[in-house]
Structure 1
């Protein structure tokens, strides 16, 4: 029979209390985890949240955080339905989403929580790390206009690479995804045809015929790794931690840049002030800037129905956007810039508890 952590703690506490009673002694017992906070949404955030919330729990044994990696769209839905304490999305709420959430629970606060990049990953036998791709070429692949790996447009960018005449399998998100929003925001910034035919969104109509969907960053990573000839897009941490093959992308300065913590940091530095109304950092200027980068956001109600629970949510999130950012670099995220950390704290300070 399996015993949960909480059951074991309770059993040990009861045993300790009995021993203390028998010997007439007073024993200070460890506090049990009295509150489990819940969050759901962005798979982009999941590697960071997993470690950060675990670390927080090591020093605050009165609270645990259960986070479900279900995609930004699902997180927004669960937050609006008030089935979780907070939602997470790689794109802030749009006007209609905000109105629905506000109707459900009052004023919504949106806090920048993580900063990362989106890597373009591929599975091309015989072609190792470093394939070069430009924004227009990636857009044409996802439009279905470039269908084979030895297409002249790809070959022109990679004159020293022997490209196989293999069909390209386009992998995209099948769920409502903030990572897809960042990716399609980038494609719209580099391809007028993509912007007019497909546009920007968490869910779009993917036009390439030879395509397949995957749920979450995990799903895309799995599809690309298992499918020869596949190309996809995943949060940088998934690419690096799973040793995936990723492309160097041409940025707005016409330099080819790999997705790294430093290149994402350079992109963010070119736009120091972000807000829920002005948040895009794709295709930013600078020779060192990686072109597909973005912030992720957490949503909470300004006046939670349970003030005591709201206080714990605020404390967890304040720690995550400040001290918890020390974990980010070890997981291939970029720690939030100091001014963004302060802005996040300022917004959290608006919670009415």
Structure 2
């Protein structure tokens, strides 16, 4: 049995993101992408590839990278012959590498588009797109002395559209009575790379902000702000810039002790970002056959309003039976009770039991090329 979907025991996660590495993700620099590569070890008896190590590579979304890194490291401790590396390069780059067959799996926070599916290599069968976890996107900000900032929809829409330019703007002050907001310029930090996090964020903006004109996609033309690469880069830029605000995944903001705004949801309630309120956003949601569930503006009274899933991308056809079996094994382990505890610890959302069963069943579509 999985843990109750709402029974979160959120402890501080042990993966730290060094500020120097984060700063390397800012748009003006070349990013240093974190890699989860397990150490070389002697293969265990009964290994998936007798007499050798199975090496698996993946690339994509930065949103789930801390969790994937933890999962793969913990899985390797139990299966030392299976080495899994993961590059946090953003959803857009991850999809491109997956389609180019330069990795064994991709990762994305935005479901595959029809155009991307048409580029899928025919010799690989069909793409298998499976959700692994979910999480909240937060407005992380840097305003010393302002610890409980509340942002109305009108306020945060105005910030991302460039209409609200200082922190003491009346549209922000109105929701923060008694708070001494400074006359500091607002520096909005957004993603510069093709990003599934941006896909989730702009889908919400399109639903929640009547004046939003930039659309919803992995990359958009931002009307204001400064770009940075990855959740890592946005986190670093917010840390370094007084008056900054940017959108990042909850786990990055919490681990780096960034201030997080409480924001107004569709029902008009102000909701703090945390796993319990994020889980309410996808409660009872109908997950389609291809698992491409999006919740741009959840209706729940107490639901946090900006929440997304993240997917692994697998090939239907693999030419290495040991690699195909190892991928099945790691997915099943990650979605088990044991994997769930790491998701909860880091502030992510374990999948509901019924969705997990469907994901495991979808793995049966994976095959090994004939003649191998």
Give the structure 2 partner of residue 122 of structure 1: 141
Does the 8 A contact of 2:39 with 2:83 survive in 1? no
Residue 322 of structure 2, aligned match among 283, 287, 308: 308
Give the Cα–Cα distance (whole angstroms) in 1 for the partners of residues 291 and 64 of structure 2.
20
Give the structure 2 partner of residue 351 of structure 1: 366
Q: What TM-score do you get using the length of structure 1 for normalisation?
A: 0.88
- 1:132-160: per-residue Cα shift (whole Å, max 9, x none)? 11233212211111111111111111122
Does the 8 A contact of 2:198 with 2:218 survive in 1? yes
Deviation at 1:233, TM superposition (A): 0.6
> Structure 1 regions of 5+ residues with no counterpart?
14-27
Deviation at 1:86, TM superposition (A): 0.4
Secondary structure in structure 1 of the residue aligned to 2:156 = helix
Give the structure 2 partner of residue 98 of structure 1: 117
Give the structure 1 partner of residue 342 of structure 2: 327
In structure 2, do the counterparts of structure 1 residues 276 and 139 end up closer, same or farther at CA, with 3 Å as the change threshold?
farther
Give the structure 1 partner of residue 188 of structure 2: 170
Give the structure 1 partner of residue 5 of structure 2: none
Does the 8 A contact of 2:129 with 2:291 survive in 1? no
Q: Which moved more, 1:221-230 or 1:304-313?
A: 304-313
In structure 2, do the counterparts of structure 1 residues 109 and 5 end up closer, same or farther at CA, with 3 Å as the change threshold?
closer
Give the Cα–Cα distance (whole angstroms) in 2 for the partners of residues 268 and 297 of structure 1.
15
Residue 340 of structure 1, aligned match among 328, 342, 355: 355
1:83 corresponds to 2:111: no
> Structure 2 regions of 5+ residues with no counterpart?
1-37
Does the 8 A contact of 2:111 with 2:292 survive in 1? no
Give the Cα–Cα distance (whole angstroms) in 1 for the partners of residues 85 and 332 of structure 2.
17
Give the structure 1 partner of residue 207 of structure 2: 189
In structure 2, do the counterparts of structure 1 residues 277 and 347 end up closer, same or farther at CA, with 3 Å as the change threshold?
closer
Q: What TM-score do you get using the length of structure 2 for normalisation?
A: 0.83
1:317 corresponds to 2:335: no
Two-structure CA RMSD over aligned residues (Å): 2.0
Give the Cα–Cα distance (whole angstroms) in 1 for the partners of residues 334 and 194 of structure 2.
25
In structure 2, do the counterparts of structure 1 residues 148 and 101 end up closer, same or farther at CA, with 3 Å as the change threshold?
same
Give the Cα–Cα distance (whole angstroms) in 2 for the partners of residues 33 and 248 of structure 1.
51
Secondary structure in structure 1 of the residue aligned to 2:137 = strand
Give the structure 2 partner of residue 72 of structure 1: 91
In structure 2, do the counterparts of structure 1 residues 32 and 141 end up closer, same or farther at CA, with 3 Å as the change threshold?
farther
Deviation at 1:274, TM superposition (A): 4.6
Give the Cα–Cα distance (whole angstroms) in 2 for the partners of residues 225 and 312 of structure 1.
39
Give the Cα–Cα distance (whole angstroms) in 2 for the partners of residues 295 and 219 of structure 1.
21
Secondary structure in structure 2 of the residue aligned to 1:263 = helix
Secondary structure in structure 1 of the residue aligned to 2:220 = coil
Secondary structure in structure 1 of the residue aligned to 2:287 = coil
Q: Point out the structure with max Rg over C-alpha.
A: 1
1:160 corresponds to 2:178: yes
Secondary structure in structure 2 of the residue aligned to 1:175 = coil
**What number of residue pairs does the alignment pair up?**
327
Does the 8 A contact of 2:131 with 2:291 survive in 1? no
Secondary structure in structure 1 of the residue aligned to 2:357 = helix
In structure 2, do the counterparts of structure 1 residues 33 and 154 end up closer, same or farther at CA, with 3 Å as the change threshold?
farther
User: More helix by proportion, 1 or 2?
Assistant: 1
In structure 2, do the counterparts of structure 1 residues 76 and 226 end up closer, same or farther at CA, with 3 Å as the change threshold?
same
